[in-house]
Amino acid sequence: MSMAISDHPIIGQRYFFPRTSELPGATMVSVEGAELGCFSVKRGHDLTLLHFHGNGEIVADYLPGMPELFDSMGLNSFFAEYRGYGASSGEPQMGKMLDDVAAICESAGDPAKIIVFGRSVGSIYAVEFAYRYPQIAGLILESGIADPLERVLLRASPRELGVSSEELVQEFSERFDHCKKLKNFSQPSLVLHAEGDDLVDKSHAARNAEWIGESAKIVILPRGDHNSIFSANQTQYIDEIRQFVGRL
């Protein structure tokens, strides 16, 4: 079987920035060719927040702190890890990691009781999760990406990948079409983005929210940028999520 274009090593090397770390108490999730070092915190709540982080982060960056915050909102938490990141084995493969969401779901629990949260590149996998499991309780996209191909083309050309522009567009249209995936999703959604995000501009938030439709609330936070959105808007950021969870 030929390798998917989206799994090309050049994309893995230029689009993902993994670093390894020990993770005591990790929940290991088996996927094809790798073990993912995820982290689960169960507090007896009905709902679980499943978190996909950004491409320069690892699960350990959110510990401690975020599980306690989500617990205060009445949520269990499950932090998904990527291939090659943190306590995981393997190497980042953009396309293959779409399929990893099935094993992550099996480990995290009943999708109808899961709120999926995707930050930055994690939005790609959160959207895939929502597409595969449209019964999830809710979806949160923070600093999310509307068109993954736009992001890939900033780092790699079709020539470097050994394919034509048409072949690259075709694969991403088949596997990474957020418009198609989100238009089939009708559960409550929250789209957060920083006004000053100069890495993934706020047009991505507008597109994602438009594709979801009436069930989406979009909030453009006034301070910070792609990597300081939480710290620069902490009170409002937390309040928006708390209110969103309270409506579910």
* Closest residue by Cα to residue 16 from 105, 114, 125, 115: 125
Residue 152 pLDDT greater than 70, yes or no: yes
**Predicted local confidence at residue 123, as pLDDT:** 98
Calculate mean pLDDT across residues 116-129: 98
Calculate mean pLDDT across residues 200-206: 97
CA dihedral (105, 107, 109, 115) positive or negative = negative
3 confidence band (pLDDT: 50, 70, 90) = confident
**Predicted local confidence at residue 184, as pLDDT:** 87
Calculate mean pLDDT across residues 204-226: 97
Measured torsion, CA atoms of residues 232, 233, 238, 244, in degrees rounded to the nearest 10: -140
Calculate mean pLDDT across residues 15-21: 96
Contact 229, 193 (CB under 8 A): yes
* Domains defined for the chain, CATH in brackets: 5-247 (3.40.50.1820)
- C-beta atoms surrounding 161 within 10 Å: 17
* Closest residue by Cα to residue 5 from 174, 244, 191, 248: 174
Calculate mean pLDDT across residues 80-94: 98
Q: Strand runs (DSSP E) across the chain, as ranges?
A: 27-31, 34-41, 47-52, 75-80, 114-119, 138-142, 189-194, 216-221
**Predicted local confidence at residue 1, as pLDDT:** 54
DSSP code of 148?
Answer: H
HEC per residue, 35-63: EEEEEEECCCCCEEEEEECCCCCCHHHHC
Global model pTM greater than 0.85: yes
Which residue did the predictor score with more confidence, 223 or 1? 223
Please write the tens of the pLDDT for every residue from 31-69.
Answer: 999 999 999 999 999 999 999 999 999 999 999 999 999
119 confidence band (pLDDT: 50, 70, 90) = very high
* Closest residue by Cα to residue 82 from 97, 68, 72: 97
**Predicted local confidence at residue 192, as pLDDT:** 98
Query: Mean pLDDT across the chain, nearest whole number?
Result: 97
CA dihedral (212, 217, 223, 227) positive or negative = negative
* Closest residue by Cα to residue 32 from 93, 108, 114: 93
**Predicted local confidence at residue 243, as pLDDT:** 98
Contact 99, 128 (CB under 8 A): no
